[in-house]
Amino acid sequence: MRTQVAVIGAGPAGLLLSQLLHLQGIDSVILERRDRDYVEHRVRAGVLEHGTVETLREAGVGNRLDSEGLRHEGTELRFARAAHRIDFAELTGRTITVYGQQEVVKDLIAARLDAGGDLRFEVTAVALHDLDTDRPRVTFDHQGEPGALEADFVIGADGFHGVSRRQVPGLRVYERAYPFSWLGILSEAPPSSQELIYARHANGFALHSMRSPTVTRMYLQVPLSEDIAAWPDERIWSELHTRLATDDGFALTEGPLLDKGITPMRSFVATPMQHGRLLLAGDAAHIVPPTGAKGMNLAIADVRLLSHALAGYYTERREDLLADYTDFALKRVWRATHFSWWMTTMLHTDPHDDAFSEQLALAQLDYVTTSRAMSTSLAENYTGLPYERGWSYR
């Protein structure tokens, strides 16, 4: 079997790349380990940057996103029992859209299959070969049969636990583990606020988010190796009420829980994001803590760069865009890594920190919610930085 681009992983990165390549007449095959139902229903991120929405529209998957996505013009920071709004639209002219990652994945899978795309689920034993030649190969098992795929390029879009990153010799890794996790719930309850609420409380961080006018998504900071069994529903609701409480009577609406899980928080950046004809994208190369809502947006930004670089290769035999991929991608990755670290430290209570750190975080929250310069900085990072190659902050 032969294709132009072999894509490992059907997350947002792999699916969107395959779709963008298809629109430019470039052929690809996607190999995914899980089944379709699993990837379409796994509850993950939910905030799309301004440019992410535009990219998905350009990819031809904007219809349901435009009708069901919730456009937000700002967000709320809550601390010391008071609410403070950051007005994205006024500060940056940009907005964000709340739309679940699994909805993006469903739309992309449907678009790939409608266009006759070759997308294989439940593929196991994926192994990469000859990456430093111009005829790389992927071997795998599918439906009980061994398979082999020859390509011009292999894209490692197989997430943090995938196999591709391990194929990059001399890989350098930068890492930070945070001493806490997030307990996330999905609840069949109308959101209690129009916008997201990021709250700092002495008991820890809490986030109020949503998926639709009838479904609320919320998170609580919990100890690093917390057992979900320690959190019966009543305890979750009680803690959410406590951490989100305000002096002007904020009321949190409860509802039956549809999903409940714990995720540890980490920052991870691997470089280079390429080796020979292998290029990494998304979580395969970097992870950010979810506090800045950057994970899926970074995956999509990587893929934009890759789609452009591969189109340059196929139309004009340009190698320079591919050669520059790591440098351009990492500029955004490190900005997002800093932003996510900054939001995380400002909003969480660290069990190892002292009273001094607590005061620093509160001073920073006061600054970011009252200074126009500082709130503009939050707003421009949150709504998303420009895409142009070599963009600057001027």
Question: Which residues are the active-site residues?
Answer: 72, 198, 290, 294, 382
CB of 101 to ligand PHB, least distance (A): 8
CB of 196 to ligand PHB, least distance (A): 6
Residue 300 C-alpha from the chain's centroid: 8
Q: Is the dihedral angle over the CA atoms 340, 343, 345, 348 positive or is it negative? A: negative
Q: Binding residue for ligand APR (CB under 6 A) from 13, 56, 108, 218?
A: 13
Q: How many residues bind ligand APR (CB under 6 A)?
A: 29
Q: Which CB atom, from 14 or from 290, has the smaller least distance to ligand PHB? A: 290
Say how far apart CA 241 and CA 209 lie, in whole Å. Answer: 14
* Span from 11-19, 206-214, 231-239, 375-383 in contact with ligand APR (CB under 6 A): 11-19
Q: Which two tokens stand for residue 155?
A: 């894209």
Residue 14 binds ligand PHB, judged by CB under 6 A:
no
Q: Which CB atom, from 299 or from 311, has the smaller least distance to ligand APR? A: 299
Say how far apart CA 300 and CA 290 lie, in whole Å. Answer: 15
Tell me the per-residue interface mask from 109 to 138 with ligand APR, x by CB under 6 A, - otherwise.
Answer: --------------x--x------------
* Span from 129-137, 251-259, 289-297, 323-331 in contact with ligand PHB (CB under 6 A): 289-297
**Strands laid side by side in the 172-187 sheet:** 82-87, 74-79, 197-199, 206-212, 215-223, 172-187, 257-271, 286-287
Q: Within positions 248 to 307, which residues make up the interface with ligand APR, using CB under 6 A?
A: 282-284, 295-296, 299
Say how far apart CA 209 and CA 186 lie, in whole Å. Answer: 9
Find the DSSP H helices in the chain.
12-23, 36-41, 50-58, 63-68, 88-92, 101-114, 233-244, 295-316, 320-323, 325-347, 355-370, 372-383
Q: Within positions 32 to 71, which residues make up the interface with ligand APR, using CB under 6 A?
A: 32-34, 39, 44-45
Cβ count near 118 (within 10 Å) = 16
CB of 22 to ligand APR, least distance (A): 17
Tell me the per-residue interface mask from 26 to 55 with ligand PHB, x by CB under 6 A, - otherwise.
Answer: -------------------xxx--------
Phi-psi region of 130 (alpha: psi -120 to 50; beta: other; left: phi over 0): left
Q: Which CB atom, from 9 or from 136, has the smaller least distance to ligand APR? A: 9
* Span from 31-39, 106-114, 317-325, 380-388 in contact with ligand APR (CB under 6 A): 31-39
Say how far apart CA 193 and CA 253 lie, in whole Å. Answer: 10
Cβ count near 214 (within 10 Å) = 12
CB of 371 to ligand APR, least distance (A): 29
Which residues lie across from 75 on neighbouring strands?
Answer: 86
Are the C-beta atoms of residues 90 and 372 closer than 8 Å to each other?
no
CB of 383 to ligand PHB, least distance (A): 13
Q: How many residues bind ligand PHB (CB under 6 A)?
A: 10
Q: For residue 279, which of 28, 25, 23 has the smallest C-alpha distance?
A: 28
- Given the rule CB under 6 A, which residues bind ligand PHB? 45-47, 196, 207, 209, 217, 290-291, 293
